[in-house]
């Protein structure tokens, strides 16, 4: 599962989110798959914008790249085939990408779409 962070900065004493960043382990994403689902965790780990690791190869994503499926509550899908085409169009091997970054202003809408809490399925053993 990717590490999820919300990078922010203080502007006029207000917390302003700048990026929602998914950081993956090397080769965690299978770029041959159409969609990759992960657990949406909220609240996120908040990190100062100045702590963003620019040494990790990143790709911007858009709200339209995300998939919300009512049959998979608490999960978000990433439309890998669409993102892969954009990555390949700039001559980069998708396997090198380890971070996906959703920038502001789409970030505000994304946060409002997420469930207020993560609902877990409970197993009962008799």
Q: What predicted TM-score, i.e. pTM, was given to this entire model?
A: 0.83
46: pLDDT strictly greater than 60: yes
15-43 residue pLDDT tens:
888 999 999 999 999 999 999 999 987 66
- DSSP string across the chain: --EEEEEEEEETTEEEEEEEEEE--TT-S-TTSSEEEEE--SSPEEEEGGG--TTS-EEE--GGGEE--TTSTTEEEEEHHHHHHHHHHTT--GGG--EEEEETTHHHHHHHHS-SSPPPP-----
Give bridge partners of residue 103 from the DSSP assignment: 19
CB contact at 8 A, 19 and 107: yes
Q: What is the pLDDT of residue 40?
A: 81
pLDDT value at position 10?
85
């Amino acid at each position: 599962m990717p590490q999820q962070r919300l990078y922010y900065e203080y502007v006029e004493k207000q917390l302003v989110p700048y990026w929602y960043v998914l950081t993956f382990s090397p080769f965690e994403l299978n770029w041959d798959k159409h969609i990759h689902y992960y657990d949406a965790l909220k609240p996120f780990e908040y990190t100062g914008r100045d702590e963003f690791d620019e040494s990790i190869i990143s790709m911007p994503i858009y709200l339209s790249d995300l998939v919300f499926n009512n049959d998979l509550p608490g999960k978000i899908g990433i439309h890998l085939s669409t993102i892969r085409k954009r990555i390949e169009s700039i001559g980069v091997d998708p396997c090198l990408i380890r971070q996906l970054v959703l920038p502001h202003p789409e970030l505000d809408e994304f946060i409002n779409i997420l469930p207020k809490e993560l609902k877990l399925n409970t197993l009962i053993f008799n």
